Amino acid sequence: MTGGLPTADQRPPERARRGTEPMLSRPTAHLHGLTLMELMLVVAIIGILAMLVVPNLMTSRSASNETAAIASLRVYAVAQVVFRTNDRDNNGLAEYAADFRDLYYLLDATGDPIKLVVQNFADANAPDSALSGYYFENLTSSPTGAYDHQYDFGLAALPAKYNQTGVNTMVVDCLGTVYQKDRRTGELLGGQYPDVESDGWLVSGQ
């Protein structure tokens, strides 16, 4: 039969037609391991990111710890006023506590701790028992002599690990003023309140 549509027996088989069509190329994913150069590049990038991020994280942590230590010193100063005003050691004298731990552990008339501060603050008297990266030292004298606890008190907050948990050392006096200084160490002050006016100490928050 000529002209018109081919009959069924004249059409090429479907499989044969498909076999003659050109195959379209498909994108293939080439999975392979990283080369040494690529690995070195990844390590270098990670190192750069670490240098940028880690110091910022440590600085932020130190600043947070210092803020918490300053708050603890101010709470301590208020607790000392309450202790003295209410004669919490029941000795008939209006005096401050010589040891900051007494503001928690000293027993009242019923035999219970007076708890003018929280226990984890009262326990933070050494680096290994630090509170938010700081530990505390009783200050019992000034450059002019020993304290009379009827009139004076002092406390220092020191970084448990200098330049890791904190940088500045802070002290508080009987007026409730907090001073700070980077002493380049977290070592004790030896129980003596520093000469803040002549030795470079700054009022905290300024």
The pLDDT > 70 percentage for the chain reads 75
Task: Give residues with Cβ within 8 angstroms of 178, minimum separation 6.
Answer: 70, 73, 74, 170, 171, 172, 203, 204, 205
Distances (CA, A) of 64 to 67, 136, 164, 167, 168: 5, 17, 12, 11, 12
Query: In the predicted model, what is the mean pLDDT of the chain?
Result: 85
Q: What is the pLDDT of residue 61?
A: 86
More confident site: 196 or 61: 196
pLDDT value of position 189: 98
- Write down the pLDDT at residue 124: 98
- Give pTM, 2 decimals: 0.73
Domain ranges, ordered by start, for the chain: 49-203
| Segment 155-185, tens digit of pLDDT | 999 999 999 999 999 999 999 999 999 999 9
Buried/exposed 118-150: b ≥16 CB within 10 Å, e otherwise? eeebbbbbebeebbbbbbbbbbbebeeeebebe
Separation of alpha carbons 147 and 153, rounded Å: 7
Q: How confident is the model at residue 35 (pLDDT cuts 50, 70, 90)?
A: confident
* DSSP letters for 169-203: EEEE-TT--EEEE--SS----TTB---TTTTT-EE
Question: What is residue 39's predicted lDDT score, i.e. its pLDDT?
Answer: 74
**pLDDT surpassing 90 at residue 105:** yes
Q: Environment class of residue 105 by beta-carbon count within 10 Å: exposed (0-12), middle (13-18) or buried (19+)?
A: middle
Residue-level pLDDT at 40: 74
